[in-house]
Amino acid sequence: MNTGTPSDQEDQPVGDLDDAMKVKLVWPVAGFFVVVAFGVGLVSMAAFESNRRQDLPVTPVAGTTAASVDVELGDLYIKPAELEVPAGEVTFKVHNAGGTEHNFAILEGGAKTAMLPGGDSVVLTADLEPGAYRFICEVPGHAEGGMEGTLTVGEGAGDETATQSHATAMSAQEMVKHDLEVTGSFPAETEGVGGTDLAPRVEGGVKIFELTADEVEWEVAPGDTKQGFGYNGMVPGPTIRAELGDRVRVILHNELDDEPTTLHFHGMTVPNEMDGVPVINQDAVMPGKSFTYEFTVRNSGTNMYHSHMNAAEQVPKGLLGAFIVPDEKDEPVDQDVNMILNDGPLGFSINGKGFPATAPVVIERGQKVRIRYMNEGLLIHPMHLHGMAQKVVAKDGHPLPQPYLADTVLVGPGERYDVVVDATEAGAWAFHCHVLNHAEGPSGMFGMVTAMIVE
């Protein structure tokens, strides 16, 4: 079924090209931003430690033979993150408190659970030799996103029954102090800005865009630099903009060290051989090779592009971007903002950044802003704006015949929603994912949080 082949020629179209293929915003916070405390469910310190990498002391689990240890799995955390047990038979009582499937696997220990739906529990017994082990969730991307920890197995001495460990709790004063420090730095400066517009070159009436997939070091939040993938050195990749009827050529260069890849135009109507799925549509693009995609833009709306090879790892690690085609029937607005949601190896992020490094939406009172939600992650993200309603006007690039109002818009993986907000209420309004352990913990807000500033 392969109709195209990878090519070393950067501008040579591949496949049949007949007619059928026809600010980062910076807002001065000091003296203006009011600390917003929202949500009622606080995540455990161990969960928060995975997401924010706080250096908080952890009390190991200790015990003798037949030790029994409680392990909690959640959406991108395992608690406790550090365990110490005696050698011999150990029982792990594993409970999935998250909203998606997880498992508990002791690497090199030869013991793991089956995948557990949210709310399920299981008992795992392992006979362990002395040594150091690593445990993870084996769902692709979850370990890199925080679902990992260390297990130390000793000769065994001490209490007869193991006791559950917890990170040392902060006092109320410490919680408020840390929250003030983090939120007061919003929007914090970090290296790198993703999603900037990619200007095409035009040859023979064709708009040509070039994308290079490569490894990147990406500062998600202040001091939190992670290893990821990016297009043209950024996460999200550059935004591609085109008009209905445009002929576009997208040249993909694979500079990943040891990963084949492809490019899929999610939501776009393209010829079959340009759809970017290995084996079904094309050969995978090997490291050091290139592939050319060419098609006529046939549908408008909020669309995406991303890898379709080892996608559960490559996309959450950063091989993703927006492909925007405006529609003349779109409601006129004063601002048009992309908001790409992601989770996994880079943590919980909006446009490649986690709070307090996320960019606020700054708008004048009385103006309107269009927000284009795109979920490129592995989890659902219900996006909640305080203070003002969101008018949902489009779903997956298609205008809704009957727009509706909502304060929380549920965006599933692969989904896109367009909302229009009439900025009627002055002030700084919290704007966040309402899966609360994606946004807030005992030390304050993190991850999928930003603000709408109505001036």
Chain segment 39-98, per-residue pLDDT in tens:
333 333 333 333 333 333 333 343 333 488 999 998 888 999 999 999 989 999 999 988
Residue 10: its pLDDT value, please? 43
Residue 311: its pLDDT value, please? 95
In order along its 455 residues, the chain shows pLDDT tens digits of 443 444 444 444 444 434 433 333 334 343 333 333 333 333 333 333 333 333 333 333 433 334 889 999 988 889 999 999 999 899 999 999 887 789 999 998 789 999 998 889 999 999 999 999 999 998 866 786 788 899 999 864 333 333 333 334 578 998 899 899 999 999 999 999 999 999 999 999 999 999 999 999 999 999 999 999 999 999 999 999 999 999 999 999 999 999 999 999 999 999 999 999 999 999 999 999 999 999 999 999 999 999 999 999 999 999 999 999 999 899 999 999 999 999 988 999 999 999 999 999 999 999 999 999 999 999 999 999 999 999 999 999 999 999 999 999 999 999 999 999 999 999 999 999 999 989 998 888 999 999 999 99
Dist CA 240 CA 258 (whole Å): 26
How wide is the angle at C-alpha 352 spanned by C-alphas 350 and 355, nearest 5°?
Answer: 55
Residue 41: its pLDDT value, please? 33
* Structure token digits, residue 445: 């807000």
Dist CA 368 CA 384 (whole Å): 17
Residue 130: its pLDDT value, please? 92
In terms of Cβ atoms closer than 10 Å to its own Cβ (0-12, 13-18, 19+), residue 438 is: buried
Dist CA 276 CA 273 (whole Å): 7
Residue 169: its pLDDT value, please? 59
- How many distinct helices (H) and strands (E) make up the chain? 3, 31
Look at residue 49 and give its three-state secondary structure: helix
The sign of the CA dihedral 432, 436, 438, 440 is positive
Look at residue 202 and give its three-state secondary structure: strand
Domains belonging to the chain, first-starting first, are: 19-31+186-454 (2.60.40.420), 58-154 (2.60.40.420)
Residue 109: its pLDDT value, please? 76
